[in-house]
Chain A
Amino acid sequence: MVSHVIPKTYAEALTVLKAGNHRVIAGGTDMMVRHRAWAGLPPLFDKPVLFAFTLSELKYVKEDEQVICIGAMTDLETLLHHERTPALLRQVIAIMASPAIRYVSTLAGNIVNASPAADSLLALYALDAQVVLESTSGKRILSIEKTIVGPGKTVLHDDEMVAEIRIPKTRFTHTMFRKVGGRRADAITKIGFVGCATVNEGIIRDLRLVFNAVAPVVVREKSVEALHVGHSVKNVLSDTDTLMHHYSEHIKPIDDQRSNQHYRKEAALRLARHFLDTLA
């Protein structure tokens, strides 16, 4: 059995983290499943646990002119209904898991869990989200891409926790979100896609294509996107094969119990192509 701490304040939480080797639990919707034990026995945690979900200091949604700031312990159901939540993020949250799970799960938990199939990460990657990490020694602000380095792997230090998620305010003329799961609700993603674009007088001004569940981390290739910005939609659509070829190198899905690599790859590329078609 391991010990657990339920801190009263955020400052106390950071102090506990500094002192020991604690695992932080937000909503616990992944951790409690992963560490489940025989019914009636306590979960099998391998480290002491810090329960952060009760930290009301970290439950907020604020904004200034450029950025929306989401406190790390804000649950997804709150975000789903919050007027400041970016529309794309809200669209993603709406089909995530089940209502019961949404009431306790958090963006911070999704980030640290770092599943390549996490739905919310699609929106966070597309929206250039930044993650504020904090310890008693101070804050670090990292892009979402820099925060997550592999399946279940982040750059968080042992004494750090996620304090806030910052999402720059961005407008697009076109967005598309598609999740392909085993069923229409309460399903883990087989493959997911978000496309965002701004098209002005036939010219692509901004293009973002994001895929999940197709590689060890969420795929967004800014260099490929950049190749197409400034070009006409017509031009891009006349040669989608090249663009698809670029993504083909990065979309390397696996066979597992939920789907197979052939389907995942093809469905991912078909979705991207479908999104591009909507720009015309």
Chain B
Amino acid sequence: MPDIHQSVPKIDAKEKISGRMTYVADMRYDDMLYAKTVRSSQAHARIRSVRVPTLPEGYHVVDHRDIPGKNVVKMIFDDWPVFASDTVHHVGEPIMLVVGPDKRIVQTLVDAIVIDYEPLNPTFSMTDSVVNYHYDKGDPASAFKAADTTVAYDYETGYQEQAYIEPQGFIGTYDDERIHLIGSIQAPYYVKNAVIDTMACDPDAIRVVQATVGGAFGGKEEFPSLMGCQLAVALNKIKRPIKLIYEREEDMDVTTKRHPSKTRIEGAIKEGRITALRIHIGIDGGAFIGLSGVVLSRAIIAATSAYTVDNLDVSGDVYKTNTVPNGAFRGFGAPQMIYAVEMFFHHVAKHLNVDVHDFRLKHLAKQGNHTSTSGLFRDPILMPEMIERACAMSDYHTKRKAYANPEVYKGIGMSWFLHGCGFTGSGEAEHIKAKIKLEKLPDGLVYLRVAAVDMGQGAKTTLMKVAAKTLDLPLERIRYENPDTDLVPDSGPTVASRTAMVVGGLVARAATKLKKTWIDDEHQVIHEQYVQPDYVRWNQDTFTGDAYPAYSWGVNVVEVEVDKTTLEVEVKHIWSTYDVGQSLDDNIVLGQADGGTAQGVAYGYLEVMRHREGKLLHKNMTDYVIPTAVDMAKTTTELYNNPFALGPYGAKGAGELTLVGGAPAVALAIEMAIGKRVHAIPATPEYLMEVLHHAND
């Protein structure tokens, strides 16, 4: 096999492009029933009564009273009910399922159910903290005391919707006292474990299989556990195949989104350097905490992004509001913080009236520096050359001089960023404990038994390449079927930029073992389990130590032109350099780069989602605007090779890195074009018009 980074055709490309691929919505069984969810119309209310019309034969309702186990979806914080019982906490909260053979009749029944609510006082502002974290680095109090001056700014970010092509969905069957769920999911074992708790059943009674996933972006990390639990309850009651597929609007209305955030950063400045930062980020968790606390962790750990600041006082809160619960989304809290930090460094430089580029370079993190959480940047950091290259490719320095003229309405912005690869802190070692199996059949075919999900990002192709390369076998001899919890051990969820590095690392190790012990014509099974590198030390209570075993790094440069009359933004070009360790397939990494950058840049200037009194205003792809091919600028991307000793062939994470720098880069470009500071994203023409009228500088 040639070098690992050399691209091969993605193994799922043909079936997907030709339209032959089967998704969960395409599956059907004889005697199959359809389920539709009855939802709360209220943001916060007590349910006085639910009036269900007389059900025709063969039609059922399923609600909290049918749950054999706990009425809670097992996640990190167990506060999310499977079905609302006496109180609803957000518009769209599921109350019951109506199940039956004819969709028309199911819909009629859903429409005929009358729920009597006693309204309660809803909260929409970020005031009710349910999770609070704090950490210090160094001695921030002394640094602030000793400062020449201090500067403080506020930043805000909005919702972002994952906008996967395929809405969420499951199909389930009940056979031999077992519940079998097939779904569009990122984390088969999250679903299985959640269902076990809800059903209070033996683990063997639950089988979860991943259907081909048409995009996820984090949106199918924890939310499918909710649907899976509901469907399991229905299957247990009705004992016939049931399909539960969301329509686009239902999906956008009720599934998790990126947390809106408010960040305040205060900097202590001495002799032209930032000596300390006091940072507070608040994120809107929505009605239930779910994964919000973990999102908050990643956000506060990203407090200094690609810079080193010796003294930090960082805190954050998850606020509970009566809105749709927010959750996992590519970047997982980091995009909000990195946007704020990048803007802050620019705004401070402007305030001090010094060259922004030089000012930033002074603070750039170097190998051997302490991370935000007082861990160590152990591995080489290639940022100086990546920055220089990005400047050269984009002609950054010439352009930023030319665009300083306020009459030209053009701008160029650059962001520097990192992304911690894998679960935060000791998550891998203590919570996930990833296991994989490599199974060689007598015919010589090698099966990857992993729970990792290919949701379009190329996990199958890359992990199969790792196995093939290590075993020195052609790719055709490697097999990787969609995970089935009956067949694969729990290698963890497909999240947190961990799959290539962590699961791929286990595959490489197992393949090395298999190669050493290979016996022709024999059935051989190799087991492998994650072992935390012994140098990684993490204290979750104080947020100190190595938050991640490795970091990926990136630089984005975005050039824009703003229309003088309407203030519409046109993105002209995006240049990027990335260090993802060793690329496992150049085309796949570049695909991640283009997609991530599109999503990250659009987060900064285009994608608007708001709610009014808890009702989302943008719930279809007409109203929620994501970039089309016409909006997407040309991209130029270069990858840097910086192998990480513990990743397979040196690979680190690539999935989220490419998103996290897009928003600050485009916001900084817009800021240059209009000559005013951008303190909130998305920086829409409406926002810019307001800024032009009201803001100074």
Q: Enumerate chain A interface residues (CB-CB to B < 8 A).
A: 37-41, 178, 180, 182-188, 191, 256-260, 262-263, 266-267, 270-271, 274
Tell me the nearest residue of chain B to A257, going by C-beta: B617
Known: A184-B570, A184-B631. A271 touches B107 (CB 8 A): no
Known: A184-B570, A257-B610. 7 other contacts (CB 8 A): A38-B103, A41-B103, A41-B104, A183-B631, A256-B617, A263-B689, A271-B565
Question: Which one, A37, A38, A183, A188, contacts B628 given CB within 8 A?
Answer: A183
Interchain nearest-CB distance for A41 vs B (Å) = 5
A183–B625 touching, CB < 8 Å: yes
* Interface residue B74 (Cβ < 8 Å from any Cβ of A): no
B606–A39 touching, CB < 8 Å: no
- A residues less than 8 Å from B247 (CB atoms): 38-39
* Interface residue B630 (Cβ < 8 Å from any Cβ of A): yes
Interchain nearest-CB distance for A97 vs B (Å) = 10
Interchain nearest-CB distance for A255 vs B (Å) = 10
Q: Could you list 14 A-B pairs, sorted by A, with CB under 8 Å?
A: A38-B36, A38-B107, A39-B247, A41-B104, A183-B627, A185-B629, A185-B630, A188-B622, A256-B617, A258-B623, A260-B686, A263-B685, A267-B566, A271-B565
Dominant SS among interface residues on chain B: loop
B628–A186 touching, CB < 8 Å: yes
For the complex of A and B, the 9 pairs showing the least CB-CB separation, nearest first, are: A182-B625, A185-B630, A257-B617, A263-B686, A185-B628, A274-B565, A184-B630, A270-B565, A183-B631
Tell me the nearest residue of chain B to A39, going by C-beta: B247
Known: A39-B247, A260-B686, A262-B689. A267 touches B565 (CB 8 A): yes
A267–B618 touching, CB < 8 Å: no
A257–B566 touching, CB < 8 Å: no
A39–B625 touching, CB < 8 Å: no
- Chain B: residues with Cβ within 8 Å of the partner, total of 30
- B residues less than 8 Å from A267 (CB atoms): 565-567, 685, 689
Known: A41-B104, A185-B631, A259-B686. A180 touches B623 (CB 8 A): no
A257–B686 touching, CB < 8 Å: no
- A residues less than 8 Å from B685 (CB atoms): 180, 263, 267
Q: Enumerate chain B interface residues (CB-CB to A < 8 A).
A: 25, 36, 103-104, 107, 245, 247, 565-568, 570, 606, 608, 610, 617-618, 622-623, 625-631, 685-686, 689-690
- B residues less than 8 Å from A180 (CB atoms): 566, 568, 685
A183–B623 touching, CB < 8 Å: no
Interchain nearest-CB distance for B427 vs A (Å) = 37
A183–B36 touching, CB < 8 Å: no
B628–A184 touching, CB < 8 Å: yes
Tell me the nearest residue of chain B to A178, going by C-beta: B566
Question: Which one, B25, B625, B689, contacts A187 given CB within 8 A?
Answer: B625
Give the distance in Å from the alpha carbon of A142 to the alpha carbon of B629 in the complex.
Answer: 40
Interchain nearest-CB distance for A176 vs B (Å) = 10
Interchain nearest-CB distance for A82 vs B (Å) = 23
Tell me the nearest residue of chain A to B617, going by C-beta: A257
Give the distance in Å from the alpha carbon of A180 to the alpha carbon of B562 in the complex.
Answer: 13
- A residues less than 8 Å from B25 (CB atoms): 39
Question: Which one, B103, B107, B618, B629, contacts A257 given CB within 8 A?
Answer: B618
Give the distance in Å from the alpha carbon of A35 to the alpha carbon of B631 in the complex.
Answer: 29
- A residues less than 8 Å from B690 (CB atoms): 262
- A residues less than 8 Å from B567 (CB atoms): 267
Give the distance in Å from the alpha carbon of A188 to the alpha carbon of B381 in the complex.
Answer: 45
- A residues less than 8 Å from B630 (CB atoms): 183-186
- Count chain B CB atoms within 10 A of each CB in A39, A183, A262 and give the residue with the most: A183
A270–B566 touching, CB < 8 Å: yes
- B residues less than 8 Å from A39 (CB atoms): 25, 245, 247
Give the distance in Å from the alpha carbon of A256 to the alpha carbon of B686 in the complex.
Answer: 12
